[in-house]
Amino acid sequence: MNLTQFWQANPKAAIAFSGGVDSAYLLYSAVQSGADVKAYYAKTAFQPAFELEDAKKLAAQLGAQMEILSIDVLSVPNVAENPANRCYYCKTALFSVLSATAKADGYSLLLDGTNASDEAADRPGMQALLELSVRSPLRECGLTKKEIRRLSKEAGLFTHDKPAYACLATRIPTGDTITPGKLSRTEDAETYLHSLGLRDFRVRTLGDIARIQVTESDLETVLKNREVILSHLKKLYSGVVLDLEVRP
């Protein structure tokens, strides 16, 4: 089955839309096929501001309906406590709200952007999607991340080369309580590094220390801007280290 066939069989659906590479291409394909589709963006403390702006920009470019749902994810049991399967509880809460809202709007089928490159064993949240009957057309059609980027570029989507971006909660070690303050300073730090030209990186929390992880292509930029990075991040953390082993 390909996406054209999927939309022929499912001409009306709601899409959990993050503004990332995968859900962006899924929404594009739905609009191109003429499907009756509506995008729902879950706005939480785990998403940085630029993700919402990207989502609004793309939806506007495609002429697609988009609704923003604000969800207090930190009030969900077992999320703020940050267990190893935090993503399961988070996804269950988010997609329950998305599903209920979509059904109230007349959309009984809810889709997400999981692709064929995503390994279920590494993603506890995928169990939640299965339990809630959320379908993943990109995965069902065998589309990998690389193929989705290629197709997105051919379609002229600005998201085609957007770096993968896991939620802000992933910057905090498992078992450490997630707080609005920790998420806010992470977003501040990463927004600042992005302003210096870095693209594929993370600022992870190590106690009260910022641990910067970058790809090799961004390493020179970090070293060149060492002093200003230290100056800014030391306002947020007690120390700053550069991880030369682990990559984003």
Give yes or no for residue 28 having a pLDDT over 60.
Answer: yes
Q: DSSP characters for 174-207?
A: TTSPP-HHHHHHHHHHHHHHHHTT--SEEEEEET
Is there a contact between 101 and 69 (Cβ–Cβ < 8 Å)? yes
Half-sphere exposure of 155 (CA within 13 A, CB side): 24
Comparing CA positions, the residue from 103, 100, 80 lying closest to residue 90 is 80
Residue 121: predicted pLDDT: 54
pTM of the predicted structure, to 2 decimals: 0.92
CB count in 10 Å sphere of residue 162: 17
Mean pLDDT value across residues 168-179: 96
Q: For the segment 117-141, what is each residue's pLDDT rounded down to a tens digit?
A: 877 655 778 889 999 999 999 999 9
Comparing CA positions, the residue from 134, 41, 123, 130 lying closest to residue 87 is 123
Residue 120: predicted pLDDT: 61
Residue 102: predicted pLDDT: 98
Q: Which domains does the chain have, with CATH numbers?
A: 3-161 (3.40.50.620), 179-243 (3.30.70)
Residue 228: predicted pLDDT: 98
Q: For the segment 105-115, what is each residue's pLDDT rounded down to a tens digit?
A: 999 999 999 99
Comparing CA positions, the residue from 1, 26, 2, 55 lying closest to residue 114 is 26
Report how far residue 88's alpha carbon sits from residue 160's, in angstroms, rounded to the nearest whole number.
28
Share of the chain above pLDDT 70, in %: 98
Q: Using pLDDT thresholds of 50, 70 and 90, give the confidence band for residue 246.
A: low
CB count in 10 Å sphere of residue 123: 15
Residue 125: predicted pLDDT: 81
Tokens of 163: 């770096």
Q: Using pLDDT thresholds of 50, 70 and 90, give the confidence band for residue 244.
A: confident
Cβ-Cβ contacts under 8 Å for 225 (sequence gap 6 or more): 196
Is there a contact between 39 and 66 (Cβ–Cβ < 8 Å)? yes
Give yes or no for residue 248 having a pLDDT over 70.
Answer: no
Q: For the segment 195-209, what is each residue's pLDDT rounded down to a tens digit?
A: 999 988 999 999 999
Report how far residue 146's alpha carbon sits from residue 196's, in angstroms, rounded to the nearest whole number.
27
Give yes or no for residue 217 having a pLDDT over 90.
Answer: no
